[in-house]
Amino acid sequence: MTHVDRDGLIWRTGFACLSLIFFAGSISAGVVIEPNIVYANLSDSQSKTIDSALKSAINSAKPECWVKSAGLIYMKRRPPGITDELIRRALLQSSPSAKRSLSMALLSYRDDEVSGFDGVVAYADKPVPRFVSMTAKTLAITSQQIADVRNSKDVELAFCAVKPDVVRSP
Instruction: Note the residues at the interface with another protein (CB under 8 A).
Output: 1-7, 11-12, 23-25, 27-33, 39, 55, 58-59, 64-66, 68-77, 113, 115-116, 144, 147-148, 151, 153-154, 157-158, 160-161, 165, 168-170
The crossing angle, in degrees rounded to 10, of helices 152-162 and 49-58 is: 70
Closer residue to another protein (CB): 95 or 107: 107
Across-strand partners of 69? none
- In whole angstroms, how close is the CB of 69 to another protein at the nearest point? 3
The answer to whether residues 132 and 87 touch, using CB atoms and an 8 Å cutoff, is no
- In 3D space, the residue among 123, 140, 143, 136 whose CA is nearest the CA of residue 167 turns out to be 136
Task: Kindly calculate the radius of gyration of the chain based on its CA atoms and give it in whole angstroms.
Answer: 21
Q: Cα–Cα distance between 98 and 37 in angstroms, integer?
A: 17
- In whole angstroms, how close is the CB of 95 to another protein at the nearest point? 26
- In whole angstroms, how close is the CB of 50 to another protein at the nearest point? 13
Closer residue to another protein (CB): 49 or 115: 115
Q: Cα–Cα distance between 145 and 66 in angstroms, integer?
A: 19
Closer residue to another protein (CB): 7 or 44: 7
Closer residue to another protein (CB): 126 or 153: 153
Closer residue to another protein (CB): 32 or 92: 32
Q: Cα–Cα distance between 146 and 52 in angstroms, integer?
A: 15
